[in-house]
Amino acid sequence: MSDRSASSPCVLVTGGAGYIGSHVLHALTDAGIPAVTIDNLSTGRRRAVPGAVPLIEGDIGDASLLERTIREHRVDAVMHFAGSIVVPESVSNPLAYYRNNTVNSLTLLDTCVRLGVGNVVFSSTAAVYGSPERVPIDEETPTVPINPYGASKLMTERMLRDAGAAHGVRSVILRYFNVAGADPEGRTGQATPVATHLIKVACQALLGRRPALSIFGTDYPTPDGTCIRDYIHVSDLADAHVLALLHLRRGGESLVLNCGYGGGASVHEVVEALERVSGERVPATLAPRRPGDPPQLVAVADRIRERLGWVPKHDRLDDIVRSALVWERSLDHPAP
């Protein structure tokens, strides 16, 4: 055990080799906060993990591995990212989603309770709101998920709430809106080649790594007919996680917080931003609506600023798409 781990408590980050988890590991490392990560590398990459952070290759469904890691590293807090994230896959294979997102979260939470780890930061999603009638969406909006992915995450939220009442576990549940962009220093980014997220796919199309971007639906009840989303830069999201951890370590109360900027951009506006920052055309074709896409998802994002003192640094759409494009250029693998 290193001197540092002997002196200060450590945060266990599940899924730290993935897109968002790896940004958070960099943010923790930058802040001098010791961390350890467990990742089964199902979608994550070993090289996304900062060199200073021990990577334990394994599954969070393995209670004995969790227990050993928590004891050996003097873990006092968990940030829980590990999970399955593809919405259509959750529709075709729901039980796999309930297993990886809900059952494995239960194992993790149960282990935390048994070992007295009382601080949990959880990656939730705007998908818990389903297709709400009113936009923008505040945290009191009813949670009515419309797919197994959203339902599997909502169940973990519920477990955290109940474990809080019964066992005193305190949690910050972060409901992410549309996460995009990459580390401004180029240390990590979204690396899976089979991407479905708009900004990543648009970058791949611009670079000729896929034939074209399909714009799913131009007849929505929005000003330009395409869907509107609240895109949040992954580095601002990573900062929010560090603040959430510090809040819990100070003894702060459990919170549920939307993570977005409170503004929206349409699919057309995203494409225009990418063309503006690159000076190049995004090859795009108009396509039918993608099933299950709500017309607008925009957060009311005041609570996270008030409760955590979060101040975003990268909230211009141009900055988000520029960082995504710089990262995409740095990847050596072609898209499928």
Residues in contact with ligand NAD by the rule CB under 6 A: 15, 17-21, 38-44, 59-61, 81-83, 85, 100, 104, 123, 125, 176, 178-179
Q: Is 48 in the site for ligand UPG (CB under 6 A)?
A: no
Q: Is 267 in the site for ligand UPG (CB under 6 A)?
A: yes
Shorter beta-carbon distance to ligand UPG: residue 12 or 232: 232
Residue 290 CB, nearest approach to ligand UPG (Å): 5
DSSP 237-279: HHHHHHHHHHHHHTTPPPEEEEES-S--EEHHHHHHHHHHHHS
Token pair of 268 as six digits: 């057309």
Residue 226 CB, nearest approach to ligand UPG (Å): 7
Query: Closest Cα partner for 125 from 107, 100, 143?
Result: 143
Token pair of 61 as six digits: 């469904």
Per-residue interface string for the shown chain with ligand UPG, residues 218-257, x marking contact by CB under 6 A: ---------x-x----------------------------
Q: Is 176 a catalytic residue?
A: no
Binding site partner of 138, from ligand NAD, ligand UPG, none, Cβ cut-off 5-8 A by kind: none
Q: Where are the alpha helices (DSSP H) in the chain?
A: 3-7, 19-30, 63-72, 87-92, 94-97, 104-115, 148-167, 198-206, 234-249, 267-278, 302-308, 317-330
Residue 299 CB, nearest approach to ligand UPG (Å): 9
Residue 24 CB, nearest approach to ligand NAD (Å): 9
DSSP 189-246: ----SS--SHHHHHHHHHTTSSS-EEEE-S-SSSTTSS-EE-EEEHHHHHHHHHHHHH
Residue 29 CB, nearest approach to ligand NAD (Å): 17
Catalytic residue among 149, 176, 231, 261: 149
Q: Which of residues 95-124 bind ligand UPG (CB under 6 A)?
A: none
Residue 253 CB, nearest approach to ligand UPG (Å): 25
Binding site partner of 169, from ligand UPG, ligand NAD, none, Cβ cut-off 5-8 A by kind: none
Contact yes or no for 20/81 (Cβ under 8 A): yes
Q: Which of residues 285-324 bind ligand UPG (CB under 6 A)?
A: 290, 293, 297
Instruction: Return d(Cα 26, Cα 48) in angstroms, integer.
Output: 9
Shorter beta-carbon distance to ligand UPG: residue 102 or 125: 125
DSSP SS3 for 76:
strand
Binding site partner of 50, from ligand UPG, ligand NAD, none, Cβ cut-off 5-8 A by kind: none
Antiparallel, parallel or unpaired: β 55-57 and 170-176: unpaired
Residue 136, preceding peptide bond in cis (omega within 30° of 0)? yes
Q: Is 156 in the site for ligand UPG (CB under 6 A)?
A: no
Binding site partner of 297, from ligand UPG, ligand NAD, none, Cβ cut-off 5-8 A by kind: ligand UPG
- Residue 336 CB contacts under 8 Å (≥ 6 apart), including other chains: 193, 194, 210
Interface contacts to ligand UPG, rule CB under 6 A: 85, 125-127, 177-178, 196-198, 201, 213-216, 227, 229, 267, 290, 293, 297
Active site members:
149
